[in-house]
Structure 1
């Protein structure tokens, strides 16, 4: 583990790093996957500090950004990178701004419950989420080759229309973004979310084979793949009880919870 003034870098293996922002209440993780030919950065964090400073230290290969979804805490340093990819379902938000969130609310949320010294470059009063055209669009079952490792894209809407998960088939790592993580509820209660889609997406990832570790984008770093068995139970329960709809509240399962 290596602590920067803002970021915490944790080595998952010799070619994979978690870049975490534990000084903020959202406890966001971004992930750098290094290949032989290029590297992929899964999300770019909050934008309170410049994550490219960290990726420059970890690899000299060209870095392409894959966006799990277009929410503020996942696109913070997008403007620092030349190649940015997003699913078509979230392209509109990347270009024109995130639906249903005022800039006042965004600035309030980004600046609360910060426990580390804020970088001098960070000013919550002028903070503005990245907006811009992506380099390209991702589709379900796209395969990205890094030379010596293969990434498979899974479209998993619900938390956002264009949410994706990324499966590193070479190492058995599943990066689930905000579809699945521990400790705090998975959110699907905003007007821009879709509870039915979220449950279907959870079912989709629970059927991926040969997963060794699940990496959500918040809180606990690295979850045992047995959590996917509980996901299967949760999907069955939520469907049978017809609970996948707005206003049904928080549903708790072993290792995770969901709020509709």
Structure 2
């Protein structure tokens, strides 16, 4: 659907676009009739905010499924996010621009890049206005409701978002072929 130096996107449903970053990390743009929700924010290499603006004219809010480096990068560009309070510290622990750049480059797509990113392409870390999100909260986007379900494991504050009507769950790293546990900041 859309490509840039940093991102690739593909429409999954009429109102859902998956966006992949340099390391193959993914986030989801879910649109309702009134606003859009960006579920996760990749590593913060390149302007995800500008890329998302090319995909929708709706107001966009960011929610993180958890606080790891490959999910919170856009928080520093948007300046605010929704995140479970148990993962706010983890978000800042993973905010170092060199760490985010290293993550993006360590898993960079196998294809050759005409112009590889540099440290200048990393969104600088800054204070982020955080709003708490808890199990049972609902995001009403206008005709689309996403319910927050707490699933501590990958991190103490891991959540998933459920669209009951479409029978779709956006799980971040809570459930995938490479779900990691027993890390610092993970549950046992």
Structure 2 length normalisation: TM-score? 0.85
The 8 Å contact of residues 75 and 129 in structure 1, kept in 2 or not, is answered as no
The 8 Å contact of residues 90 and 162 in structure 1, kept in 2 or not, is answered as yes
For residue 52 of structure 2, give the secondary structure of its aligned residue in structure 1.
helix
Mapping of residues 161-176 of structure 1, within 5 Å: 161-176=156-171
- Are residues 50 and 118 of structure 1, via their aligned partners in 2, closer, same or farther at CA, if it must alter by over 3 Å? farther
Matched, 1:64 2:61: yes
1:69 Cα shift?
A: 0.6
The 8 Å contact of residues 27 and 39 in structure 2, kept in 1 or not, is answered as yes
Aligned residue number for residue 55 of structure 1: 52
Alignment RMSD: 2.6
Matched, 1:194 2:187: yes
Matched, 1:9 2:9: yes
Q: Which runs of 5+ in 1 are unaligned?
A: 196-260
Distance (Å, rounded) in 2 between the aligned partners of 1:60 and 1:129: 25
Aligned residue number for residue 234 of structure 1: none
For residue 38 of structure 2, give the secondary structure of its aligned residue in structure 1.
strand
Distance (Å, rounded) in 2 between the aligned partners of 1:56 and 1:103: 23
- Structure scoring higher RCO (CA < 8 A, sep ≥ 6) equals 2
1:52 Cα shift?
A: 1.2
1:92 Cα shift?
A: 2.5
Aligned residue number for residue 123 of structure 1: 119
Mapping of residues 179-190 of structure 1, within 5 Å: 179-182=174-177, 185-190=178-183
- Are residues 105 and 166 of structure 1, via their aligned partners in 2, closer, same or farther at CA, if it must alter by over 3 Å? same
Aligned residue number for residue 254 of structure 1: none
Larger radius of gyration: 1
The 8 Å contact of residues 46 and 73 in structure 1, kept in 2 or not, is answered as yes
Deviations 1:110-152 (A, max 9, x none): 432424528676318x957745343410011111111111110
Distance (Å, rounded) in 2 between the aligned partners of 1:107 and 1:4: 17
Distance (Å, rounded) in 2 between the aligned partners of 1:61 and 1:41: 11
Segment drifting more, 63-72 vs 130-139: 130-139
Matched, 1:154 2:149: yes
Mapping of residues 81-160 of structure 1, within 5 Å: 81-94=78-91, 96-98=92-94, 108-115=102-109, 116-117=112-113, 122-123=118-119, 130-160=125-155
The 8 Å contact of residues 77 and 123 in structure 2, kept in 1 or not, is answered as no
The 8 Å contact of residues 72 and 129 in structure 1, kept in 2 or not, is answered as no
Distance (Å, rounded) in 2 between the aligned partners of 1:97 and 1:128: 15
The 8 Å contact of residues 149 and 169 in structure 1, kept in 2 or not, is answered as no
